[in-house]
A and B are shown apart, each in its own frame.
Chain A
Amino acid sequence: MSHRLAERSVDHVVLERGEVADSWRTKRWPGLRLLTPNWMLGVPGQPAGHTDPDGFMTAPDVAAFVRHYACRTAAPVRAQTAVQSVRRGRRGYEVRTTDGTWHANAVVLATGASSVPVVPACSAALAPSVAQLTAQDYRGPDSVADGGVLVVGASATGVQLAGELRRAGRPVTLAVGEHVRLPRSYRGRDVFWWLDATGVLAERYDEVDDLSRARRLPSPQLVGSSAPIDLAALAAEGVRLVGRLVAVDGGTARFSGSLRNVCALADLKMARFLDRADAWARHAGLDGDLPPPTRPERTPISERPCLALDLHGDGVRTVIWATGFRPDHSWLDLPVFDRSGRLRHDGGVVTDAPGVYALGLPMLRTRASTYIHGAAADTAALADRLLAHLGR
């Protein structure tokens, strides 16, 4: 966005509570890789690199990438400056920070979608002898106490952690709620090639059937490597699959009886996407050039899925909450939230706060908005709106 504003000669500062790419340096585990391959990582003024187009950046790689971009675009970054509040001022907005107060005609919220881990209320009922971690605390299998691990949540984070811990020799139980299953590659191409080619990533927020559902969609079960990470692969490696964690009482974790159905929903939805991919390939005349269509096996569910687990008796010493994240907009002292506390906005134009814009939220403007490359189009559109707001 800073680059877009500079292009349009808009005087601005970028406030950063730590150093550039703070979250990527301090809030992600080092083994995390982006879900998107390197060939997608073009940003305004800096096309995707060509060194390893099919590779996936680690969290430290992303931090370096962002630092490099900040230098290259000479972004006016004020590091070690945490924003404490944003409220309406005499003109525009008053932005209080740990290093003085700014008055701004426009404010861009670019703190991202994954600031605060969401942890279910039943976590309070866990015995103190069971360690609890969130994905932000996790730093690799060695950072987890010896013994069994219950990973709660089977989206991108949960399946990665479950796989990593299992391969480190841990007994792992994975609690599975609603999830999005996608194959890493299909007919010889990465799944993001298909998502891009078939137009899925370009689907706009004002065109989808159910926007609130699209914005709440869990991240797909993918990991930044060519190894399969779906539930079938995890089960084959010895991860025990159980239903959504619904309660903890007296040392027993209870799981929903809906495991079969959430897996059926995900399997069917994936099959519909692959049907769409095949139809697109036929229409594009690529059928002959690609390997023939296949369908991944249905997710195998054990005959009697576990509904109640005595954590102590089963040797579970750690529960990892991979139950999603939410943005932290608590510093916004503006009437911009709906009754569930979510930011109200129309494609990134924040409602009831003229001149306030949001970036980097799921389905902000398109399905690509979640991913780094989606910022190119979103920032271009919102920079124009911002310019219009400034009356230029």
Chain B
Amino acid sequence: MTTTPTTLGTDRPVDNGVNVTALLGARDALSDAPAAAEFTWKATCTWQHGTHSRSTVDGFTGLGTEHRHTSTYTFDVDHPECFASADNGATPVEFVLVGLAGCLTAGVASVAQHRGIQLRSVTATVEGEMNVLGILGADPDVRNGFNRITARFAIDADASRADLEALLAQSQKRSAVFDVVTNPTDVLVELA
């Protein structure tokens, strides 16, 4: 496996800032220690006022122990004024798009690093189509969630279009959020 790829025609090493060697090492190590591979991700959400809530993310468990992020991340969640709300933050469904875009983009950078493709810029525009008659309870035949999500990636890199298509395809194949939005997940919501 190539661990320090170089761009074709130069000796400058490809550097997208992804430590592929560490990731491949983790893959091998965790294959032999399956319990350590079990992670739990966590967010805590506190109602503020109206449809406004504030979520914090500060830690998770995995590798058999608790972890703390280097700082506590805070996210304001609300609905826009046209929904008669105060628009104190992005809507929950926009956070889903943020999650998908972030996950696919991380995948693009990692796979590019592994394949020796130097990225100069990556911009993803992610759109989710939704008929709000579903969430308004106005039409039982309309689902609440997205009818379709479209992610369009503009990538500037030393690679052919076919290589970039393969990059995007592999990034979807290994994406957690792509899996979450394309496949069913068992969800348990209960009173504490």
At the interface with chain B, which of A90-98, A251-259, A279-287, A349-357? Answer: A251-259
Q: Secondary structure of the A side of the interface?
A: mixed
Known A209-B1, A261-B172; contact A268-B182, beta-carbon cutoff 8 A: no
A271 at the interface (CB under 8 A from B): yes
A264 at the interface (CB under 8 A from B): yes
**13 CB < 8 A contacts A-B:** A209-B1, A243-B182, A246-B184, A254-B184, A257-B182, A258-B178, A258-B183, A261-B173, A264-B165, A265-B169, A268-B165, A271-B162, A339-B34
Q: Do A261 and B1 touch across chains, with their CB atoms under 8 A apart?
A: no
* A304 to chain B: closest residue by CB: B148
B30 at the interface (CB under 8 A from A): no
Cβ–Cβ < 8 Å partners of A265 in chain B:
169-170, 173
| CA of A258 to CA of B182, assembled, Å | 6
Known A254-B184, A256-B183, A339-B34; contact A268-B162, beta-carbon cutoff 8 A: yes
| CA of A353 to CA of B172, assembled, Å | 40
Q: Do B169 and A268 touch across chains, with their CB atoms under 8 A apart?
A: yes
Q: Do B166 and A268 touch across chains, with their CB atoms under 8 A apart?
A: yes
Cβ–Cβ < 8 Å partners of A246 in chain B:
183-184
B181 at the interface (CB under 8 A from A): yes
Cβ–Cβ < 8 Å partners of B182 in chain A:
243, 256-258
From residue 258 to 284 of chain A, which have CB atoms closer than 8 A to chain B? 258, 261, 264-265, 268, 271-272
Q: Secondary structure of the B side of the interface?
A: helix
Cβ–Cβ < 8 Å partners of B166 in chain A:
268, 272
* Chain A residues near B (Cβ < 8 Å): 178, 209, 243, 246-247, 254, 256-258, 261, 264-265, 268, 271-272, 304, 339
Cβ–Cβ < 8 Å partners of B148 in chain A:
304
Cβ–Cβ < 8 Å partners of B162 in chain A:
268, 271
Cβ–Cβ < 8 Å partners of A272 in chain B:
166
From residue 116 to 173 of chain B, which have CB atoms closer than 8 A to chain A? 148, 162, 165-166, 168-170, 172-173
Given A256-B183, A261-B178, A268-B169, 8 more pairs with CB closer than 8 A: A247-B184, A257-B182, A258-B182, A264-B168, A265-B169, A268-B166, A271-B162, A339-B34
* A244 to chain B: closest residue by CB: B183
* B184 to chain A: closest residue by CB: A247
